């Protein structure tokens, strides 16, 4: 074997045949030795300990063949092959360089050895240490400057080591990515080198759990670099085509980005996954040391939260670093505020912050480390203990130590820093070279002075090596240090100066850095192997989300090949699959970026140009279908992106590419799965699964250029475009929206309402404007009907959008309010078609309807038919579902629209008759609105008299309800209406006379009487007379309400007396008109009925009236109206016939008053004398009859 090694090492000077034979033998030897390595565990591992491996063969070597020691020797030889050099002569001079041919041969053999041994190498400590230290150190060193072929082999070797041994090479992997792959891919001298580095990164990303493990081990470790984030951003950067042309590097990097994103999407959206998603954000509730790690095997759930917490701590540390560099005191205060350090502060937290936070001002760190305060002395101690100096030479250790901060200039601060270093370095030395830490301290000072002497240009006479050695005599406890050791230190400092004022870190893997890495790997926990977790997947993508969206947009813009476009669309959907788990902003950004590729948002494109583009360019078609597919499958996560989707949809509508058949608004919407309260349950069952993703991708096969090339006529173009639009399934975006979150629904509604109001749109013709507004309101109707189960949750925001629309500077209510009213009435009907526990929904919908007709009152006439039909249906079929006073007020106010138009009058009357005939749904809270609405129907001209008389009869009979409420002490069906609801939606007058008022029933009765009183002035004599009779009937039914004298007198004053006075005034008004005798006599007939009513009601209530203190005044009021009617004069139309009935009415009244002892001579009362005088004035003929001497 030794002979073979010599042949291989001297391959450059050996013959080809001998060289090939030696290499073939080496292959066979490695096959024989390393293939057997897994068996050693079971057979001859008894002697395999670290001490046993130092000398001699290991247990059973002769009996069982080759042992571990043989494998160690071979592997050591293979590593040495990486250092074989060849002499290259150029321009007469010879230079030494690595022999690439031997390196490649060595890497092939090393790969074979690792693949044959697998993870069994991890069970053999010395063999494992060779890979951890020698092999990977060589690979990182040569990987930074080797050729593309050697770099490719190095990447393959490290990938094999990751696959089998990643648990043992945590920090080595981080160094390989940071110092080799990322560095070359970013700053590579040639494109081929960059391509190899990118390909190496991609090969790692192809491993099933690589990106997850890298993120958890490095990006979530505040003491490590962000490997995953750097790799992701690097791939995004190389995916950009800056000059407009895609190169192989662009395509390669984009494919790598796709691999990462598909991997995350498949695992975050894995079918059958039951892992909890948890909150989208995580907080730091209390201080936790950010440098402490947790074992995944202890508690998986706790480990996931721990990893996410450390990632958050890492972000906050970077924020703290930014504050620290601007103002160090504010930076340290932020550490306390962010709970990154304890209160009181922990020196170790400060130390780790100074040591591992990148970008800190090193000069400020040095000042803190040299501070004499006891607290900062402890910080210095903890800071120094983060370094591991085992195996380091003093100057190497000191260089590495001083790279982490700027050595302060004050001598006392320098002393404190060097004392801490000396103590740590001395503790880590395994040899007896130094007698004490003081020796180290003295030598450190000497090295710093030497550095100044050798590299300061102001020092003219430089120190020699002998002087340096002489200056350091007897510093080791009175003894000299070895001359060779001091000589090496002198040469090292003379050749390479200390960077005492260095503010940046070198990009090279220096020996001191590598030794520190190896020492740290021994002290820190190993690489954590883990599978994907949905919560971490979301966090992973969040850190590269912005660059990824920008990369996709740029790549799609510059890609021309159909296959690349399809790959881009697949990646687009994978991004959407990830974004549905709490990354709504990224999804909105993605939609906004890709909407521009549809060409639908180009305001300057004509119909013909857009049609041609859709028919002959694959990219706009794919972008359009992709956008609407995302809207279909990921509507639950879209917020701001709805505006762009709606704009594209409206452009399709204007281009006549969206026929009515594409969107069936009358189709049934999906059944809601949320509870009646509208609160979304925290489940992810509605999320997009990988199986649905596969099904969705198949639709894009129909968009291939071959399938779109048949036919070039305009007709065929239109058919192809319609076929494409049908693929979008636009209707289901809105009809299947019952489960989307409230925020997404609000954003969709806002976009549609603002679009309907014309915000951001210009219409060429009024017809186009009307069609667009109607289309938008159809969509609003569809989503409202789909979400009617949680109407009270989302509609208040919709109403706010309507209020905002009304404030637009250029807002025109036409045709917006008309289309809005029609849409809102459809929603209103759906709301009332089923009982609802929540009473706010009807208030919300009627507030919006009221707002619309107040913006343009003409719409009440324009939409009178649909308004009448809708309201009539509610009152006839769903009156039990109207539950609030405001709801009843709105319904009955809208019903009044029916009285304005002959074609709807009959419909409105029937609804009102049905409401009063049943009487079940009339309550104290809506009674006033009912009678107000009924009065409106009496004002309509040319309307059926029999219907009006029916309404009057029903109004009179409704007094039974008032009596019942009075008798039952407010226990009617309307008593369940809350006082708050009534107060918030009623006028001030109604509030003062609300259901809680003691006289509320009486007030309602008075209001009813006022309706009869006003109706008695109708132009139709039959209606007037019937109103008087109905008033009399209602009075007779209200006996229980009028038992109090004050109620009775108040009713007479407000209703009876007022009716008589108004009829008398109206009669005289007619008598003064030309050719109005018929009207005058007709009004006279009504007044006769009113006077007879007055007489009858007075006598009926005589007992209650006489109990009132104001009876005398009331009685004079009766006599005054008798006198007025008795002396009525029609002028040109002759005398009035009222004088014929007044005497009889007076005779009946006075006779009954005398019989009951109410009117008789009394000394203390002048009623008799006053009545006598009034009768003598009104009707002298009755004086002697009624008042005999």
Looking at the annotation, which residues are catalytic? 410
Output the 3-class SS for 863-929.
CHHHHHHHHHHHHHHCHHHCCCHHHHHHHHHHHHHHHHCHHHHHHHHHHHHHHHHHCCCCCHHHHHH
- Name the strand (E) or helix (H) holding 760: none
d(CA 403, CA 426): 19
Q: What is the maximum alpha-carbon separation in the chain? A: 168
d(CA 1141, CA 725): 83
Strand partners, 90: 93
SS3 18: helix
Strand partners, 1129: 1135
Find all residues with CB under 8 Å of 279, minimum gap 6, and list them: none
Contact 35, 46 (CB under 8 A): no
d(CA 309, CA 910): 68
Tokens of 704: 């291939």
d(CA 770, CA 869): 23
Determine if the peptide bond prior to 815 is cis (ω within 30°): yes
**1111: Cα within 13 Å, side-chain hemisphere:** 18
Tokens of 945: 């008299």
Contact 923, 879 (CB under 8 A): no
Tell which residue, 1019, 1023, 1028, 1086, has the closest CA to residue 1055: 1028
Contact 888, 929 (CB under 8 A): yes
Burial 974-999 (b: 16+ CB within 10 A, else e): beebeeebbeebbeeebeebbbeeee
Backbone angles phi, psi at 85, to 5 degrees: -115, 155
Angle at 326 between CA 321 and CA 327, to 5 degrees: 95
Contact 33, 70 (CB under 8 A): yes
Q: What is the DSSP string of 722-756?
A: HHHHHHH-HHHHHHT-TTS-HHHHHHHHHHHHHHH
Number of residues in the chain: 1189
Tokens of 791: 């109407």
Backbone angles phi, psi at 156, to 5 degrees: -65, -40
- Return the C-alpha torsion angle 1112, 1113, 1116, 1121, nearest 10: -140
Contact 644, 601 (CB under 8 A): yes
Q: What is the DSSP string of 83-141?
A: T-EEEEEETTEEEEEE-HHHHHHHHHHHHHHHHHHGGGGGGSHHHHHIIIIIIHHHHHH
Please state whether 272 falls in left (phi above 0), alpha (psi between -120 and 50) or beta. left
d(CA 632, CA 75): 58
For 83-92, which contacts have Cβ atoms below 8 Å and span 24 or more sequence positions? 83/138, 84/9, 84/11, 86/12
d(CA 132, CA 893): 85
Question: What is the rounded radius of gyration, in angstroms, for the C-alpha atoms of the chain?
Answer: 48
Contact 224, 217 (CB under 8 A): yes
Find all residues with CB under 8 Å of 465, minimum gap 6, and list them: 487, 490, 491
């Amino acid at each position: 074997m030794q002979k073979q090694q010599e042949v291989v090492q001297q391959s450059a000077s050996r013959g080809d045949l001998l060289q090939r034979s030696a290499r073939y033998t080496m292959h066979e030897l490695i096959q024989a030795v390393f293939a057997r390595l897994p068996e050693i565990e079971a057979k001859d591992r008894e002697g395999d300990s670290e001490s046993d491996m130092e000398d001699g063969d290991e247990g059973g070597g002769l009996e069982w063949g080759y042992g571990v020691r043989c494998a160690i020797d071979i592997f050591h030889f293979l590593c040495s092959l990486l250092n074989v050099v060849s002499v290259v002569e150029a321009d007469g001079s010879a230079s030494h360089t690595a022999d690439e041919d031997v390196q490649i041969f060595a890497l092939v053999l090393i790969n074979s050895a690792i693949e044959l041994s697998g993870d069994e190498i991890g069970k053999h400590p010395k063999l494992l240490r060779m890979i951890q230290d020698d092999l990977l150190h060589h690979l990182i060193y040569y990987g930074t400057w080797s050729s593309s072929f050697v770099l490719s082999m190095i990447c393959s070797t490290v990938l094999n080591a990751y696959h089998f041994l990643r648990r043992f090479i945590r920090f080595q992997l981080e160094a390989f990515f940071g110092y080799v792959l990322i560095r070359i891919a970013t700053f590579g001298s040639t494109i081929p080198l960059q391509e190899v580095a990118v390909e190496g990164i991609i090969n790692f990303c192809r491993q099933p759990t690589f990106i997850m493990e890298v993120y958890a081990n490095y990006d979530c470790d505040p003491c490590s670099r962000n490997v995953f984030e750097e790799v992701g951003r690097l791939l995004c950067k190389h995916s950009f085509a800056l000059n407009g042309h895609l190169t192989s590097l662009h395509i390669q990097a984009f494919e790598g980005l796709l691999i990462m994103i598909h991997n995350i999407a498949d695992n975050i959206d894995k079918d059958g996954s039951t892992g909890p998603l948890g909150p989208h954000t995580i907080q730091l509730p209390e201080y936790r040391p950010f440098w402490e790690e947790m074992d995944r095997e202890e508690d998986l759930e706790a480990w996931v939260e721990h990893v996410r917490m450390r990632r958050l701590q890492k972000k906050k540390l970077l924020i703290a670093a930014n504050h620290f560099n601007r103002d160090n005191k504010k930076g340290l205060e932020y550490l306390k505020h962010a709970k990154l350090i304890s209160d009181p502060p922990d020196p170790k937290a400060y130390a780790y912050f100074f040591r591992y936070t990148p970008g800190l001002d090193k000069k400020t760190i040095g000042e803190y480390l040299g501070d004499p305060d006891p607290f900062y002395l402890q910080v210095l101690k903890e800071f120094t203990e983060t370094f591991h100096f085992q195996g380091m030479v003093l100057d190497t250790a000191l260089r590495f130590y001083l790279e982490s901060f700027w050595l302060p200039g004050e001598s006392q601060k320098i002393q404190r820093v060097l004392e801490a270093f000396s103590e740590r370095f001395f503790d880590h030395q395994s040899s007896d070279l130094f007698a004490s830490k003081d020796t180290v301290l003295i030598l450190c000072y000497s090295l710093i002075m030497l550095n100044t002497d050798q590299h300061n240009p102001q020092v003219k006479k430089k120190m020699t090596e002998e002087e340096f050695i002489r200056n350091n005599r007897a510093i080791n406890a009175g003894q000299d240090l070895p001359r060779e050791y001091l000589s090496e230190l002198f040469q090292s400092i003379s050749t390479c100066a200390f960077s005492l004022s260095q503010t940046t870190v070198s990009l090279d893997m220096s020996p001191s850095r590598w030794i520190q890495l190896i020492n740290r790997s021994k002290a820190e926990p190993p690489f954590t192997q883990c599978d994907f977790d949905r919560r971490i997947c979301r966090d992973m993508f969040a850190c590269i989300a912005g660059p990824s969206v920008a990369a996709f947009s740029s790549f799609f813009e510059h890609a021309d090949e159909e296959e690349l476009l399809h790959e881009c669309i697949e990646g687009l959907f994978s991004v959407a699959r990830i974004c549905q788990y709490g990354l709504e902003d990224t999804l909105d950004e993605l939609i906004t970026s890709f909407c521009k590729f549809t060409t639908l948002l180009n305001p300057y494109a004509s119909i013909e140009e857009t049609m041609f583009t859709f028919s002959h360019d694959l990219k706009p078609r794919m972008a359009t279908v992709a956008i609407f597919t995302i809207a279909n499958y990921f509507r639950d996560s879209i917020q701001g992106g709805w505006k762009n989707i709606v704009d594209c949809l409206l452009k399709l509508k204007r281009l006549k590419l969206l026929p009515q058949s594409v969107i069936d608004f009358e189709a049934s919407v999906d059944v809601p799965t949320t509870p009646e309260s509208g609160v979304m349950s925290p489940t992810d069952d509605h999320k997009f699964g990988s199986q649905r993703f596969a099904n969705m991708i198949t639709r894009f096969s129909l968009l291939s250029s071959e399938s779109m090339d048949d036919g070039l006529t305009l007709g065929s173009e239109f058919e192809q475009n319609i076929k494409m639009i049908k693929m979008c399934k636009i209707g289901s975006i809105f009809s299947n929206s019952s489960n989307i979150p409230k925020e997404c629904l609000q954003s969709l509604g806002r976009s549609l309402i603002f679009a309907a109001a014309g915000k951001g749109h210009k219409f060429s013709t009024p017809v186009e404007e009307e069609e667009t507004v109607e289309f938008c309101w159809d969509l609003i109707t569809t989503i409202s009907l789909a979400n009617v189960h949680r109407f009270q949750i989302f509609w208040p925001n919709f109403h706010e959008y309507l209020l905002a629309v009304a404030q637009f500077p250029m807002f025109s209510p036409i045709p917006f309010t008309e289309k809005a009213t029609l849409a809102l009435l459809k929603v209103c009907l759906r709301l009332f078609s089923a009982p609802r526990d929540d009473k706010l929904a009807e208030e919300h919908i009627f507030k919006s309807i009221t707002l619309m007709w107040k913006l343009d009152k003409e719409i009440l006439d324009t939409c009178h038919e649909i308004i009448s039909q809708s309201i009539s249906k509610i009152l006839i079929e769903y009156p039990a579902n109207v539950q609030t006073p405001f709801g009843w007020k709105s319904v009955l106010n809208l019903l009044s629209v029916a009285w304005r138009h002959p074609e709807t009058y009959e419909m409105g009357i029937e609804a009102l008759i049905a409401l009063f005939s049943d009487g079940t749904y009339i309550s104290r809270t809506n009674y006033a609105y009912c009678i107000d609405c009924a009065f409106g129907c009496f004002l309509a001209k040319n309307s059926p008299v029999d219907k009006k008389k029916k309404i009057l009869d029903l109004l009179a009979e409704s007094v039974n309800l008032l009596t019942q409420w009075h008798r039952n002490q407010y226990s009617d069906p309307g008593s369940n209406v809350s006082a708050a609801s009534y107060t918030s939606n009623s006028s001030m007058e109604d509030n003062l006379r609300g259901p809680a008022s003691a006289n509320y029933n009486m007030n309602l009765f008075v209001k009813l009487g006022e309706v009869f009183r006003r109706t008695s002035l109708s132009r139709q004599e039959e209606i007037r007379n019937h109103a008087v009779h109905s008033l009399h009937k209602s009075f007779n039914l209200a006996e229980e309400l009028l038992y109090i004298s004050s109620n009775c007198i108040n009713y007479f004053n407000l209703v009876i007396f007022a009716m008589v006075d108004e009829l008398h005034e109206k009669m005289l008004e007619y008598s003064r008109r030309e050719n109005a005798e018929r009207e005058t006599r007709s009004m006279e007939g009504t007044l006769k009925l009113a006077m007879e009513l007055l007489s009858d009601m007075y006598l009926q209530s005589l007992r209650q009236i006489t109990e009132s203190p104001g009876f005398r005044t009331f009685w004079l009021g009766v006599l005054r109206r008798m006198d007025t009617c008795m002396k009525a004069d029609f002028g040109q139309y002759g005398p009035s016939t009222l004088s014929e009935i007044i005497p009889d009415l007076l005779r009946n009244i006075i006779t009954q008053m005398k019989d009951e002892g109410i009117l008789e001579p009394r000394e203390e009362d002048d009623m008799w004398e006053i009545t006598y005088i009034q009768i003598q004035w009104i009707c002298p003929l009755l004086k002697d009859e009624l008042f005999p001497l």
